[in-house]
Structure 1
Amino acid sequence: MILQALNEHYQRLLEEPDSGVAPPGYSLAEISFVLVLSKEGVLQDLYPVETATLVPEHKKRQGVNPPPYFLCDKLLYSLGIGKDQAEGVKRFSQYRDYNIGILEKIVTTEGRAVINFLQSWDPEKWKESSCITQFADIYNKPKTLNVVYQIDGVPGYVHQSQAIVDLWNRENSIEDASAIWGQCLVSGERCIIAKTHDIGISGIGEKANAALVSFNCDAFESYGKKQSYNAPVGKTVSIAYSKALNYLIASKTNRVRLSDTTMVFWADKKGGQAEEKILAWCLDPVEPTEDETEDATRRIDPIAARQAKTILERVRAGLPTGDQNFDPDTRCYLLGLAPNSARLSVRFWQVSNFGDLLQRIAQHYEDTRITGLEHLGGIVSPWRGLKALAVQEDSKNIPPLLGGQFMKSILSGQRYPQTLFNLALNRCRTGGEHGGVNTIRASIIKGFLKRKYRLQGQKQEEEMVSVSLNEKNPSAAYQLGRLFSLLEKVQRDALGTQINATIRDRYFGAASATPGSVFPLLMRLSRHHISKSNYGSIMDKKIQDVVNQLDAFPAHLNLEEQGQFILGYYHQNQANYQKADSAENNSENK
């Protein structure tokens, strides 16, 4: 189903002239340098460029003898430049023989110039060429910089001339005499079966050219079949699904990154950009950056966040999104992938329609809505939620699998993973610069409890989990959290804000887990703080109001109750300082 959907999407992309997807036989590659040759094949110049362009197919390289490419290759192959001179000579020889073998099949000025150059070039003497040695990076990056050819005075690159294009297309259409024919499990057609899937998947993890389908161990083979013949996929289909997947991963409107998981999604129709863009906004309203893998560069785009919030509010109210091109009944495919050595792991696969997906995303944001969130854009996107739970708030410290599990629970409407809740509790109990209770962590805890109670049919408990302070909440754990907040507030009122450590720093973890052992001490301390505070009588009344709702200080709180404790603490904190801000504003206005 996954390969079939990707193959169909590739065919749709080919029909869209502005899609930019590479057609069969070609790849989209980053070009670093252009070799300028005379019509006789003499090297005239080498100049740098930074552009992505269509070049003859770059298949996946693996093994001890990776194949050379046609008319566009790394410096190691095209000029034999490398730190290991012997390897450079070997790779250039392979490149030269391969390219000359193809170019000799036609007679063109461009082809003859390249042939003459390759026949005369000595890879051991490249340092004698001043037009090459002027670039210091060349020697350091021979395996990463691509080179193409241009004939002096002729516009365009050599591989773009019509004669060379026709030659390359004919070369690709030649059938391998040793190829195995069979029925493709994706298309159902009888065709040449791919022995290996030659187009690697890039952009997921640090490993380039990873495989989605591979058999590299005898234990996975059966019925005497070798390699990918165990799952027969047509050669053209293997290329099509790979290119479609690479296209989606590279697209900023078809991809969301969440920890180690990359999710791609696409519409099952031609021209589905409106649906895809809205879904991308709702899941990841961030500003575009050059390197989206770095957390420090990912910032909420306020415009996209407002648009997403407006769209989701309309969806929850049963209204249209406001985009006339958006069709809620359009089918949507969602694929979650993560790196796994040289292969890719499928974290989840889901087929739905855009209307249902937006409903579930809206439900996620409603479940996690909490007071104070309006200062952070109004919504907690999935990546922000996970980042807030990571040690040092570094996404590299997010546990494996959690990103995929979290996204799957959002898109399916299922319970959030227990690990998410446990992490939120731990980070709230942890002190230091990146620890403590904050808005995002509290919203995750609130969302977990809200959704859990709703899915279990616990309506009364669900209603107890509120967006803001609920002074009549019957949960003892919630009231204990409120009490801790008030005790901390009265300490700050009495001793000032410059104290080295508050009761929060010393007792929060113990108070939220074993309140019976901590609160008697805190209550005794509070008598001293109340006597020194300017607002002691007011705070004393608030503290007594909370204590009157408690029968006793319980010896232990389970994890769920600890979550309620943190919510009570957070809600009371927000109420404390909202009232303080209001009082300051009123005094300024008088």
Structure 2
Amino acid sequence: MILQALCDYYERAGLAPLGWEFKEIPFLIVIDRNGKFISLEDMRESGAKKARAKSILVPKAEIRSGKNAWERPNLLWDHYGFVLATPKEETDDAQTMALKQNGVFINRIRQIYSDIGESPELTALLNFYDSQQAKEVIKHPVWNDCVKIKGCNLTFRLADSPNLMLHGAEIQNYVSSKADCASNGNAEIESSTNGRQGVCLITGCFSEIERLHPSIAGVNEKPAPFAAVNNLENPAFSSFGKKQGFNFPISKVAAFRYATSLNHLLIRDHHQRIQVGDASTVFWSEKHTDLEDSFADLFDEPPKDDPAKQTRAIEALFKAPQSGALSDEGGNTRFYVLGLAPNAARISVRFWQVGTVAEMSARIRQHFEDLEIVHASYEKPYLSLFRLLVATAIQGKSENIPPNLAGEFMRAILAGLPYPQTLLQAAVRRIRAEREVNYPRAALIKACLNRQARYSPSQEKEIAVSLDDSNTNPGYRIGRLFAALEKIQEEAVNPGATIRDRFYGAASSTPVTVFSNLMKLKNHHLAKLEEGRKRYFEKLIGQIMSDINDFPAHLSLADQGRFAIGYYHQRQAFFTKSEPTSTTQGA
């Protein structure tokens, strides 16, 4: 299903033609028609954090693996080991390998020259190598920037032409002839030592089967295949004597199409990709839809130069049912979301979610409704996935987001399921460790508990957006009480460290161990307040305590979450312009 949907996207999006693909090429070697080196041109574009290479249409990369990978150079582009005999490491073995790579790279150019005949681009290129001009490249001042990029890709341009050499007419015709298709458009006619025929699982046509599938970039540190079986190390994966790609017959053309689609979607900063934790998420629809354009804005951090971008996208999503944006025509279009994560030398699927645009939109709206909670006016009305997940991470760093959590969270959102229990655990754990119930954590806990209550039999009512006097849950009430006791302490003595800093962990998990002492301490603090404030707090505490018979010996994880929400709601109520004795909002 995944590969089929990716192949369909290839047809819809009009991606790179057969035999070609887009690759990031940071630098161009510029030579004249006699092969003399002119310049090393930096093709990178300035980004928010660092310069980024342009993606350029190039002949499809060779599939390289194993100890003989050096024997398969790419056509007129490759990393500096192949192009300039420059090793990746300063070792004798690396230098020997770079010389071998460069030798086969030059030999392939000679072979193409003999195949297609006279070509000004190839003539200049062979002169460049024959006259040892490659040594001049490493003397150029820009070379230091190039060699800092491990495995930096390079290609060539003639000084008197704006076009790359590999875009020359003769080269394009050569590549196209190698990737020529049969009249039905389902089989790539190409000489191959492994030219086994079979029925393709994607197209259903009898075609030449791909033995080694193309690599996918943008998930692992190094490009890795999306579909692969290593029978040499794991012979149990063999089926009826078939090895590698012949276990799951995919035609060459179908493999090219799905890999081209996935590589296209995984391009950095692509508008159909978001990165949360270690999960790379890509999305697309059967045909172009508004959700395809706005999906990243709904979940990703807004850019610094347009901080309201996410807010606009979410507001448009909430208005969509009224505006008719989700009409039958667009709303019934199928929408796909694929979550990928690195896994050794392979790529693993974290989640795969399929639904109509209308279904996905409704579930995303529900997600933001579940997150809604009272907050300060200066805080953002909506929270991105990144902001929610780092709120559960140690030191608030993205690298500390627990593995798998981002994928499980996104899957729950898109499937309309309860959020993973590990998300609630992580949020409660961070609050206890840091003794801070902030906006993202409170919103996350509220959403986790409400979805849990909605999808499983429970007597607990859903948590309201703001302070709810009618909520009699012990955890919620005790959390409110703890906030009131802290506020009394702050107004009475203005301490450097409040009871939250000293007692939050015990108060939220084993209330009976601390609250008797806190209630006694409260009496000393009340005695220091003005009469009006004293009466206000006594009345408030009486109202909160009215449904508390005894302090529990232990609070469950869910009630620890309700404790945090009760504390947060009461603190927010204290800091509103009008400080009411009670504010009630339904769920």
TM-score, L = length of structure 2: 0.88
The reply on whether 1:220 has 2:214 as its aligned counterpart is no
Q: 2:489 aligns with which of 488, 491, 497?
A: 491
Runs of 4+ in structure 1 off by over 4 angstroms are 321-326, 579-583
Is the contact made by 2:37 and 2:133 (CA closer than 8 Å) also made in structure 1?
Answer: no
The reply on whether 1:40 has 2:34 as its aligned counterpart is yes
Unaligned runs of 5+ in 2: 45-53, 181-189, 582-587
**Structure 1 residue 505 displacement after superposition:** 0.6
Counterpart residue number, 2:585: none
Q: 1:312 aligns with which of 313, 317, 324?
A: 317
Q: Structure 2 vs 1, CA of residues 374 and 448 (structure 1 numbering), >3 Å: closer, same or farther? A: farther
Counterpart residue number, 1:296: none
CA offsets per residue over residues 56-85 of structure 1, 9 Å max, x none? 222343322322111112222112123443
**Structure 1 residue 116 displacement after superposition:** 2.9
State the identity %: 35
Q: Distance in 1 between matches of 2:21 and 2:378?
A: 45
Q: Distance in 2 between matches of 1:152 and 1:211?
A: 37
**Structure 1 residue 571 displacement after superposition:** 0.6
The residue type paired with residue 490 of structure 2 is R
**Structure 1 residue 322 displacement after superposition:** 5.1
More divergent stretch after superposition (299-308 vs 104-113) = 299-308
Counterpart residue number, 1:234: 251
The residue type paired with residue 538 of structure 2 is D
Counterpart residue number, 1:343: 346
Q: Structure 2 vs 1, CA of residues 582 and 46 (structure 1 numbering), >3 Å: closer, same or farther? A: same
Q: Distance in 2 between matches of 1:332 and 1:64?
A: 41
CA offsets per residue over residues 261-291 of structure 1, 9 Å max, x none? 122110102xx1523013333233521xxxx
**Cα RMSD (Å) of the superposition?**
2.4
Count of matched residue positions in the alignment of Structure 1 and Structure 2: 549
Q: 1:145 aligns with which of 143, 152, 165?
A: 152
The reply on whether 1:73 has 2:72 as its aligned counterpart is no
Q: 1:408-487 maps to which residues of 2 (within 5 A)? A: 408-431=411-434, 435-458=435-458, 461-463=460-462, 465-487=463-485
Is the contact made by 2:39 and 2:137 (CA closer than 8 Å) also made in structure 1?
Answer: no
**Structure 1 residue 220 displacement after superposition:** 1.7
Q: Structure 2 vs 1, CA of residues 177 and 75 (structure 1 numbering), >3 Å: closer, same or farther? A: closer
Q: Structure 2 vs 1, CA of residues 96 and 579 (structure 1 numbering), >3 Å: closer, same or farther? A: same
Q: Structure 2 vs 1, CA of residues 132 and 325 (structure 1 numbering), >3 Å: closer, same or farther? A: farther
**Structure 1 residue 107 displacement after superposition:** 1.5
More divergent stretch after superposition (345-354 vs 244-253) = 244-253
Q: Distance in 1 between matches of 2:18 and 2:401?
A: 39
**Structure 1 residue 121 displacement after superposition:** 2.9
Is the contact made by 1:204 and 1:338 (CA closer than 8 Å) also made in structure 2?
Answer: yes
CA offsets per residue over residues 336-356 of structure 1, 9 Å max, x none? 111101111111112101111
Q: 1:209 aligns with which of 223, 234, 242?
A: 223
Q: Distance in 2 between matches of 1:266 and 1:81?
A: 40
**Structure 1 residue 138 displacement after superposition:** 6.2
**Structure 1 residue 168 displacement after superposition:** 2.2
The reply on whether 1:31 has 2:30 as its aligned counterpart is no
Is the contact made by 2:301 and 2:386 (CA closer than 8 Å) also made in structure 1?
Answer: no
Unaligned runs of 5+ in 1: 15-20, 288-298, 584-590
Q: Distance in 2 between matches of 1:439 and 1:262?
A: 26
The residue type paired with residue 517 of structure 2 is L
Q: Distance in 2 between matches of 1:303 and 1:144?
A: 38
Is the contact made by 2:85 and 2:98 (CA closer than 8 Å) also made in structure 1?
Answer: yes
Secondary structure in 2 matching 1:461:
coil
**Structure 1 residue 38 displacement after superposition:** 3.4
Counterpart residue number, 2:108: 98
Q: Distance in 1 between matches of 2:474 and 2:551?
A: 9
CA offsets per residue over residues 222-275 of structure 1, 9 Å max, x none? 211111111111111111101101111226321222211122110102xx1523
Secondary structure in 2 matching 1:85:
helix
The reply on whether 1:176 has 2:186 as its aligned counterpart is no
Q: 1:52-67 maps to which residues of 2 (within 5 A)? A: 52-66=55-69, 67=72
The residue type paired with residue 452 of structure 1 is Q
Q: Structure 2 vs 1, CA of residues 72 and 409 (structure 1 numbering), >3 Å: closer, same or farther? A: same
Q: 1:255 aligns with which of 256, 269, 273?
A: 273
**Structure 1 residue 328 displacement after superposition:** 1.6
TM-score, L = length of structure 1: 0.87
Secondary structure in 1 matching 2:470:
coil
Is the contact made by 2:274 and 2:280 (CA closer than 8 Å) also made in structure 1?
Answer: yes
Counterpart residue number, 1:379: 382
The reply on whether 1:119 has 2:136 as its aligned counterpart is no
Q: Distance in 1 between matches of 2:328 and 2:266?
A: 24
**Structure 1 residue 468 displacement after superposition:** 0.7
CA offsets per residue over residues 562-581 of structure 1, 9 Å max, x none? 11111111110110111468
The residue type paired with residue 280 of structure 2 is T
Q: Distance in 2 between matches of 1:263 and 1:48?
A: 30
Is the contact made by 2:78 and 2:154 (CA closer than 8 Å) also made in structure 1?
Answer: yes
Q: Structure 2 vs 1, CA of residues 300 and 31 (structure 1 numbering), >3 Å: closer, same or farther? A: closer
Q: Structure 2 vs 1, CA of residues 381 and 142 (structure 1 numbering), >3 Å: closer, same or farther? A: closer
Q: 2:336 aligns with which of 319, 322, 333?
A: 333
The reply on whether 1:161 has 2:168 as its aligned counterpart is yes
The residue type paired with residue 284 of structure 2 is W
Q: Distance in 1 between matches of 2:534 and 2:370?
A: 36
The reply on whether 1:196 has 2:212 as its aligned counterpart is yes
The residue type paired with residue 243 of structure 1 is T
Q: 1:366 aligns with which of 366, 369, 376?
A: 369
Counterpart residue number, 2:526: 530
Q: Distance in 2 between matches of 1:437 and 1:8?
A: 46
**Structure 1 residue 311 displacement after superposition:** 2.3
